[in-house]
């Protein structure tokens, strides 16, 4: 009851804060410092980063596969595929790859030192460079990371389901206590 009185007395301030919060959430991409913080969070968060990076690599590899099948050069394909990602940290990493490849370094040797590309990616890339079938290798990489992404996402959602059920149960319990507690107090005061 005291919470509802608090909300009633401060309705204008609360509605203003909610409006600012909603505006900030929907315009995070437009606010530069929030966008970079959000991107850093996605890349470094403990559970989310693994899933997010696998999705980035799957989309990036699929784009490279299509472009290389269309007889686009590797450097041009990298330049085009870098724009598929909305993450500026990943795009900077691809820009670094493009610079090093244009200097003559091996693609597979460069990705070994990258924080985005793991051992599986570099090993498959080595096989693609040796067999000169990069478009097929990037298609395989895309399929592999897409399946891995789906697997991790399914596991994450199965872990979140019990937590959400407990959270909803807690909310229902709070509402029930808030509804029935005044009734019990009234009944005790009248001696019923």
pLDDT digits (tens, 9 = 90+) for 147-160: 988 898 888 888 88
Residue 138 pLDDT more than 80? yes
Q: Using CB atoms within 10 A of its CB, is residue 67 exposed (0-12), middle (13-18) or buried (19+)? A: buried
Q: What is the pLDDT of residue 89?
A: 83
Tokens of 2: 């005291």
- Spatial distance between the Cα atoms of 65 and 141, rounded to a whole number of angstroms: 9
Q: Which of 139, 111, 115 is nearest to 126 (CA)?
A: 111
- At residue 165 the predicted structure's pLDDT band, cuts being 50, 70 and 90, is very high
Q: Give the residue, 163 or 132, on which the prediction is more confident.
A: 163
Contact 68, 74 (CB under 8 A): yes
What letter does residue 116 receive in the DSSP assignment? Answer: S
> Tokens 């969070």 map to which residue?
41
Q: In the chain, how many H helices and how many E strands? A: 9, 0
Average pLDDT over residues 42-51: 79
pLDDT in tens, 72-128: 888 888 888 888 877 888 888 888 888 988 888 887 788 887 878 888 888 888 888
Range scoring the smallest mean pLDDT among 1-10, 25-34, 131-140, 158-167: 25-34
Evaluate if residue 32 carries a pLDDT over 70: no
pLDDT at 191: 66
The token duo for 120 is 């599986």
Average pLDDT, the chain: 82
Give residue 166's pLDDT.
93
Rounded CA separation 116/183 (Å): 58
pLDDT at 86: 78
């Amino acid at each position: 009851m005291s919470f509802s009185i608090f909300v009633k007395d401060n309705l204008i301030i609360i509605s203003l804060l909610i409006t600012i919060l909603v505006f900030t959430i929907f315009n995070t991409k437009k606010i530069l410092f929030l966008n970079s913080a959000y991107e850093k969070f996605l890349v470094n968060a403990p559970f989310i980063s693994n899933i997010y990076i696998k999705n980035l690599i799957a989309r990036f590899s699929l784009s490279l596969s299509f472009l290389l099948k269309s007889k686009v050069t590797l450097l041009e394909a990298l330049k085009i595929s870098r724009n598929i990602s909305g993450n500026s940290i990943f795009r900077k990493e691809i820009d670094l790859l493009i610079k090093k490849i244009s200097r003559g370094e091996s693609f597979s040797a460069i990705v070994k030192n990258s924080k985005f590309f793991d051992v599986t990616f570099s090993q498959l890339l080595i096989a693609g460079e040796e067999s000169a079938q990069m478009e097929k290798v990037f298609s395989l990489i895309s399929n592999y990371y897409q399946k891995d992404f789906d697997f991790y996402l399914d596991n994450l959602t199965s872990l979140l389901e019990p937590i959400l059920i407990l959270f909803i149960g807690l909310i229902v319990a709070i509402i029930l206590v808030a509804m029935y507690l005044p009734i019990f107090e009234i009944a005790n005061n009248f001696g019923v």
